[in-house]
Amino acid sequence: MTPRILILSWEYPPIVAGGLARHVRKLAEALVAQGVEVHVLTRGTRDHVHEELRAGVHIHRVAEAEMPRDLDAFVAWVEGMNSHMHAAGRQLGKRLRFDVVHGHDWLVAGAAAGLAERLRCPYLTTIHATEYGRHQGWVDKHPQSYIHGIETWMARRADRVITCSHYMRGHVADVYEIDEARVTVIPNGIDPADLQPVADLGALRARFAAPEERLVLLVGRLVYEKGFQLALEAMPRVIRRAGKVRFLVAGSGTHEAELKRQARRLGLMRHGTFMGWIGDDVLHSLYRIADLCVVPSIYEPFGLVALEAMASGCPCIVADTGGLREVVPNADVGLRFRSRDPRALATMMQRVLTDDALRERLVAEASAHVLRFDWADVAEQTAAVYAELGAGGATGAAGAALRPA
């Protein structure tokens, strides 16, 4: 019998707030290719089609008001979204029987757990990141304390938990005090075909660097835990020692204004560009024109930017922390610097930017390494978890009576 899975996610294309939308879409489509019937329950707007079949995935959208920027208002908005998703899922459950409910992160935890109980099937959650990790353990004040409470309840309530790295497996088990045996590690996937550049690469590079200059790329959400402040602190030393070097910062976030102030204090604004938010098409082109991509994260569950850069032929330096150790496991495919140490980063950046043979070797080795992160493999491993749960492998049913505080 074909397994039928209900996946809940707060974002799914065309609504894209971050990397989760792409992850859930690629996973859902890869599961369909392996014979799983996938229904995705997600949010939409009044202008979106309520139900559609796209790439074999049954998509059910619940119309929501625009997401507020204020954090307190956002928490209330998330609660309302969960209530609406739960109601929509109950109606869907009257038409179809599901084998597993699979929720992604705390944003849909209430609806996912409630539907699993209502539909009498196991509840699986994928934890992509934690509030505890994002804030280096400072979760004693609202709204961080509220989100951490939901995540703790979610991890304990779920019959099984998926994380994207072995680092995250230990982190989740430790922070939420759950048995590691209930946590399955399935890495994120990547499809090199999705990373094709669309711009005139020569013209694009000429906008940011002269032919004789080296171009360093920093990309991601501009938040403290991504560590971009460490890369900026390293840049003056790199510029002095490696010669003509420019940098690009691509992304936006709550730390953007502070990073620009730091760049001005360091005299860096004449050496680089803050691009703000960019779409995937531009990002994929930036990987192709950069001489080096730096991922200096303080907290990183996985490290998709590093994987995308390597798949695009751009050598990588990453912080020796978290899931980045698993994405860049050795010096053949990329280099790791001592986390939180801008001097160590500067030394390594200088080495890569001035050694053409090293850059070429890293690119060649990484091109084979990234093939390990195939969406078909991710889907196969996920389907195996579904099968285990459907066969009675649930372990967290005792938490069904619990509710988030």
CATH code assigned at 9: 3.40.50.2000
Tokens at residue 386, please? 């579904």
319 and 387 both lie in a single domain: no
- What is d(CA 313, CA 288) in angstroms, rounded to the nearest whole number? 7
> What is residue 18's predicted lDDT score, i.e. its pLDDT?
79
> Over the stretch 272-325, which tens digit does the pLDDT of each residue have?
999 999 888 899 999 999 999 999 999 999 999 999 999 999 999 999 999 999
Pairing between strand 123-126 and 100-104?
parallel
CB 125 within 8 A of CB 154: yes
Least confident span in 87-101, 331-345, 391-405: 391-405
> Over the stretch 141-184, which tens digit does the pLDDT of each residue have?
999 999 999 999 999 999 999 999 999 999 999 999 999 999 99
368 and 379 both lie in a single domain: no
180 and 281 both lie in a single domain: no
* 210-215: average pLDDT: 96
Mean pLDDT of the chain: 94
> What is residue 1's predicted lDDT score, i.e. its pLDDT?
78
167 and 288 both lie in a single domain: no
Q: What are phi and psi of 100, to 5 degrees?
A: -150, 145
Q: What is the SS3 assignment for 146?
A: helix
- Domain encompassing residue 53: 4-189+374-401
**Sequence-ordered list of residues with C-beta below 8 angstroms from that of 270, at least 6 positions apart, any chain:** none
- Angle, vertex CA 194, rays to CA 286 and CA 46, nearest 5: 100
45 and 71 both lie in a single domain: yes
- What is d(CA 238, CA 14) in angstroms, rounded to the nearest whole number? 40
* 236-263: average pLDDT: 96
172 and 48 both lie in a single domain: yes
> What is residue 234's predicted lDDT score, i.e. its pLDDT?
98
pTM for this entry: 0.92
134 and 271 both lie in a single domain: no
Helices (H), 194-320: 201-208, 228-242, 256-265, 280-289, 304-311
176 and 214 both lie in a single domain: no
- Angle, vertex CA 69, rays to CA 23 and CA 219, nearest 5: 45
- pLDDT of residue 361 exceeding 70, the answer is yes
- In angstroms, the Cα distances linking 180 to 106, 162, 169, 289 are 19, 11, 7, 42
Tokens at residue 100, please? 């597993």
> Over the stretch 32-51, which tens digit does the pLDDT of each residue have?
999 999 999 999 998 898 99
Q: At residue 222, what is the residue type?
A: L
**Helix/strand/coil percentages in the chain, nearest 5:** 50, 15, 30
240 and 348 both lie in a single domain: yes
Tokens at residue 161, please? 């938990």
* 321-333: average pLDDT: 97
219 and 171 both lie in a single domain: no
Q: How confident is the model at residue 228 (pLDDT cuts 50, 70, 90)?
A: very high
